[in-house]
Amino acid sequence: METEFTYEDYQTTAQWLLSHTEHRPQVAVICGSGLGGLADRVTQAQSFDYSEIPNFPRSTVPGHAGRLVFGFLNGRACVMMQGRFHMYEGYSLWKVTFPVRVFCLLGVDTLVVTNAAGGLNPRFEVGDIMLIRDHINLPGFSGQNPLRGPNDERFGVRFPAMSDAYDRDMRQKAHVVWKQMGEQRELQEGTYVTLAGPNFETVAECHLLLKLGADAVGMSTVPEVLVARHCGLRVFGFSLITNKVITDYETHEKASHEEVLETGRQAAQKLERFVSILMASVPPPRKAS
């Protein structure tokens, strides 16, 4: 059985990155399926394949490039993950979330999470963007949590609060920016529920998730958010609604990853522009005392 990473393992990776780039990011962005184009907007970019970076897992999912990109987005020093890791790839959750603690050691204070998600809320349309207000960690109900195991106080407390996981100020600023962008569809806001995947949901599961109060469903994001909040990072995030979930037994429609990527390609530019403009609203780095 593999042993979990030690604090020193995270430090090794952080030190390797700090010695291989002069960039010192304040904001980390995790790009979901089909959303890696955000990294193309980065200026003074310097990228590393995950395979180059000590201890880094590899991304195996189509639509995930598997690169770490440093640079500036709208003047803000950033590091971007072009492709994340998932439990369904066979990774344990401490591996899925490994980069987040590395970002913390790099000096990052804000994490932006993006994902492609299925729309549960009947008001949502394909191509909508949902600002994540809250989440439901369904695998966590059965003990699948990246914070499980011995707690290292150098990262955070044993029992971190999650009632304020998604930064309220940044959510308010997101609504302001969206209005300024003049998009036809309103910015949606809601609760994201994560499942382990990799299969899409059954009709009965979709009915259950709606009853639980979820607005969008996916297979990622929540583990990274848990670890980021444990580390004290500011977090905000978005779901791109790439398909509507199937809630009718009579339909012949089916969800597919190809559909997710295609919708992502069509609507991603909107989300990329949105996140890029929002960078200017992230509070400046706290000065070291």
Catalytic option among 14, 50, 59, 64? 64
Is 23 part of the annotated catalytic residue set?
Answer: no
Name the 3-class secondary structure at 34. coil
Is 1 part of the annotated catalytic residue set?
Answer: no
10 Å Cβ neighbour count for 197?
A: 15
Catalytic option among 89, 201, 224, 272? 89
Is 64 part of the annotated catalytic residue set?
Answer: yes
Catalytic option among 14, 23, 28, 33? 33
Distance CA 267, CA 181 (A): 14
Catalytic option among 23, 81, 86, 91? 86
Catalytic option among 92, 257, 262, 281? 257
Catalytic option among 115, 121, 137, 220? 220
Is 89 part of the annotated catalytic residue set?
Answer: yes
Catalytic option among 47, 88, 189, 255? 88
Is 181 part of the annotated catalytic residue set?
Answer: no
Phi, psi of 56 (to 5 degrees): -70, 135
Catalytic option among 14, 116, 228, 279? 116
Is 19 part of the annotated catalytic residue set?
Answer: no
Catalytic option among 219, 228, 268, 279? 219
Is 116 part of the annotated catalytic residue set?
Answer: yes
Angle value at C-alpha 117, between 211 and 139, nearest 5 degrees: 60
Q: Which secondary-structure segment (H or E) carries 46?
A: strand 43-49
Is 135 part of the annotated catalytic residue set?
Answer: no
Is 216 part of the annotated catalytic residue set?
Answer: no
8 A C-beta contact, residue 17 and residue 46: no
In the numeric block, the tokens 């909508």 are attached to 128
Is 175 part of the annotated catalytic residue set?
Answer: no
Q: Which residues does the annotation mark as catalytic? A: 33, 64, 86, 88-89, 116, 219-220, 243, 257
